Amino acid sequence: IEGYDLRLGRRMVSGVDVARINANTWAISIRGFNYRYSGKVLVLIDGRTVYTPLFSGVYWDQQNSMPLEDIERIEVIRGPGGTVWGANAMNGVINIITKSAEATRGGLISAETGSQDRAQGLVQYGGAAGSKGFYRVYGRYSMNDDSPSIYGRPAVDLGHSSQIGFRSDWNLSPRDKMTVQGDVFGASETQTTTTLFSARLPNYYTFNDRVQVGAGNLLGRWNHVFANGSEATLQVYYDRSRRFDQGLNIENTGDVDFQYHLHAGPRNDIVTGVGYRLTNQSWANGYEVTLGSGNKLDNLFSSFIEDEFQITNSLALTAGIKLEHNAYTGYEYEPSVELVWSPSSRHTVWASISRAIQQPSWLYAEAQINQAAVPVPGGGFAIYQISGNPKGKAPALFDYELGYRTELSKRLTLDATVFLSDYDRLQTVEPLTPFFTQNPAPPHLVLPNLFENLGNASNYGVEASAHWDVSSWWRISPGFSLLEMNLSQSSHSKDTTFTVRSGSTYGDSPKRQAQLRSAIKLSHNVEWDTSVFYV
């Protein structure tokens, strides 16, 4: 996908759900389970993962300031990608890849305005750095207005953000390349919040709250090609984020990843790698949420191997496995097997089986959430409280897929996939024995609940897309997806809200989506793209 908004561009892919909640917040998922804090899709920018370990999801407002002009492509993988990508690549992977500095030489000034996204501006310059390198530096600013509201006055969700960054690419030798890049991001947003304060029970407070974000990252990547054609890649990055959003969350992440790609004989194409990630988090000033001691240090170790074996000229088998050790559930494994048959150059049939997991989050493991206050007959009140579960398990998925790709003619291509996804150990909220407490005052009844993993789901669906080159200057691309979600609970579960809650979180995903896109190349370097979507 080229040249589209980081979020809206994903809507071009069948099976991807892109929903705007308000002016600053989005919900994006693949194959269901969509809500703002969805954690079943892994998102990367140039190989750097951008999900927060706080809830194993993505703050999309922190990823929206990347200059669209610098994006080379967005790779969207539908279905599990855990064998290569690891935890949270459960329903898919969104991999954003930017252009090399060599491809963005010269100056660039860009400005946009609109009815709600009031202003966006970009200033950028790139050039050569000596005889072996190239660079670019940029600064970007955006501002959005309040969203319209059904109450006759605008919602309170305006905001503005700014980002400065750089990228440099170096040809150190004919066999060695190096990339160094980084950016600094800041944002200030508003939102209307209704919440309890754990120290001021039982009253609710509704007020206009401010979200403030400061983040930055630095990444280095070295690639070496050996004389026999094999490749080695070493990537290191540091990421820091400070976000106040109903509580102050500070994250420091360091990550090291090494991969090796080789051809073992004429039939085996092998990729293997190891990785280590260290995350240091802190949480303070939560309105209704407290997180353990307020500090968390997580280690994530990983290793994987994948082999593409050419059985015959038309039949190939790809098999691999990833092993990870995380701070919550210990060792996890994510294997996959794919068989690809190409009876001719125009037809390809493939089938796959894979397993993936969603890593539990700090919120799931150690939170205490005073979610609601309810009156008690005879006077007084009760607090509906949810506690984290340090002994919880990682939600798991077994996925089965069958696909067909064909080039019906030089101008018409078709891609279709059917899938069946079995989910196990989905999150439930299990009630415990009520009790009275005097801390914090005043004395009240507590209705305690515990995060557990007693939910299940069996989903299936179809995804299809086509490209028709009507002429040398006009392309039409239709797409369609169907999703059926079936949720159930273990017989041991006492969660009476699972199916209701799942209807507004896990199940809040389109059953049918359709799209029709037209791309026309006019004269004088002018293009005219038109899209129609149905959800």
Q: Is 163 left (phi over 0), alpha (psi -120 to 50) or beta?
A: beta
Q: For residue 35, what pLDDT is reported?
A: 83
pLDDT over threshold 50, residue 6: no
Take residue 95 and report the two structure tokens written for it. Answer: 């991999």
pLDDT over threshold 80, residue 1: no
pLDDT tens digits along 305-360? 999 999 999 999 999 999 999 999 999 999 999 999 999 989 999 999 999 999 99
**Cβ-proximal residues to 500 (8 Å cutoff; 6+ apart), any chain:** none
Q: For residue 373, what pLDDT is reported?
A: 93
Q: For residue 286, what pLDDT is reported?
A: 84
Return d(Cα 535, Cα 512) in angstroms, integer. Answer: 6
Q: How many CA atoms lie within 13 A of 351 on its CB side?
A: 2
Return d(Cα 225, Cα 207) in angstroms, integer. Answer: 58
Q: For residue 10, what pLDDT is reported?
A: 54
pLDDT tens digits along 39-59? 899 999 999 999 898 988 899
On whether the CB atoms of residues 309 and 319 are closer than 8 A, the answer is yes
Q: How many CA atoms lie within 13 A of 221 on its CB side?
A: 17
pLDDT band at 507 (very low <50, low <70, confident <90, very high): low
Residues 80-108 have a mean pLDDT of 93
Task: State the pTM of this model.
Answer: 0.91
For 174-310, list the strands marked E by DSSP. Answer: 176-196, 204-225, 231-244, 248-264, 268-284, 289-291, 295-310
Q: Mean pLDDT score of the chain, rounded to an integer? A: 91
pLDDT band at 497 (very low <50, low <70, confident <90, very high): confident
pLDDT over threshold 70, residue 28: yes
Take residue 414 and report the two structure tokens written for it. Answer: 């078709």
Of the listed ranges 56-65, 80-89, 116-125, 279-288, the least confidently predicted one is 56-65
Q: For residue 222, what pLDDT is reported?
A: 97
Take residue 42 and report the two structure tokens written for it. Answer: 């892994």
Q: For residue 3, what pLDDT is reported?
A: 36
pLDDT band at 116 (very low <50, low <70, confident <90, very high): confident
Any idea what the Cα angle at residue 240 is, between residues 288 and 128, rounded to 5°?
150
Q: For residue 5, what pLDDT is reported?
A: 47
Q: For residue 265, what pLDDT is reported?
A: 87
Return d(Cα 110, Cα 224) in angstroms, integer. Answer: 36
Q: For residue 416, what pLDDT is reported?
A: 96
Return d(Cα 482, Cα 502) in angstroms, integer. Answer: 19
Take residue 243 and report the two structure tokens written for it. Answer: 């976000």
pLDDT tens digits along 205-260? 999 999 999 999 999 999 999 999 999 999 999 999 999 999 999 999 999 999 99
pLDDT over threshold 60, residue 424: yes
pLDDT over threshold 90, residue 277: yes
